A and B are shown apart, each in its own frame.
Chain A
Amino acid sequence: ILNVEQSPQSLHVQEGDSTNFTCSFPSSNFYALHWYRWETAKSPEALFVMTLNGDEKKKGRISATLNTKEGYSYLYIKGSQPEDSATYLCAFIGNMLTFGGGTRLMVKP
């Protein structure tokens, strides 16, 4: 299992704040990076599939960037809402599939 790390492990923000967190991964044998939103008792919900260095993807208030040369991806949430509270997972696909530990986001009203 490869070293895929997410930081911070948890994050508390106020409603309306913008926030971002990081997924770092090996820069070799990169094929794709996936971001998921996971609420417990549900299957993780796919947010983004990122494959090219420099990729930027956006879905509503959430966006992500990718740097495959240095091995990191950022996920941004603009104007956080309580319903954004969840665990955000990244998944690295290279020689094998490896998940990061997730960032637990809690948005206070």
Chain B
Amino acid sequence: GAGVSQSPSNKVTEKGKDVELRCDPISGHTALYWYRQRLGQGLEFLIYFQGNSAPDKSGLPSDRFSAERTGESVSTLTIQRTQQEDSAVYLCASSLRRDGHGYTFGSGTRLTVV
């Protein structure tokens, strides 16, 4: 596709369930970023993938959060045992180069934990 695709666009889940969010970057983009914005708060960095290097996971808020990316393909962000405070918009971006040139955003996944 022409842009970064995120799915689902909306997800409502019950507290305690696991969820998987998906980000399809633009083909050839080596860098991929996950951010989230909780209601009333700023954009928070979660995790950054760069090619085959070890990801920068410094922003993951707890061990319930994990993310995977194989090579330069799709990334999945998994939240286990969801809590209400996990409710947020999860935004993915990918870029052609590590320095961020040519980056593009997805339209986000709105996660609501009830």
A residues sitting closer than 8 Å to B (CB atoms) are 1, 6, 9-10, 31, 40-44, 87, 89, 91, 93-102, 104
Contacts and interface: CB of A to CB of B under 8 A. Distances in A.
B40 A10 contact: yes
A99 B45 contact: yes
Contacts, number: 70
Contacts of B107: 41-43
B100 A1 contact: no
Contacts of B91: 44
Contacts of A1: 45, 48, 56, 58-59
Interface of B: 3-4, 9, 31, 33, 35, 37, 40-45, 48, 56, 58-59, 89, 91, 93, 95, 98-101, 103-108, 110
B100 A97 contact: yes
29 contacts: A1-B56, A1-B58, A6-B42, A9-B41, A41-B89, A41-B107, A41-B108, A41-B110, A42-B108, A43-B4, A43-B106, A43-B107, A43-B108, A89-B43, A91-B100, A96-B48, A96-B98, A96-B99, A97-B93, A97-B95, A97-B103, A98-B45, A99-B35, A99-B45, A100-B42, A100-B43, A101-B41, A101-B42, A102-B37
B78 to A, nearest CB: 21
Contacts of B93: 97
Contacts of A96: 31, 48, 98-100
Contact of B99 (A42, A95, A99, A104): A95
A1 B105 CA distance: 18
Given A91-B100, A93-B100, A94-B99, A101 B3 contact: no
Nearest to A97: B100
Contacts of A93: 99-101
B43 A99 contact: yes
A102 B58 CA distance: 19
B108 A40 contact: yes
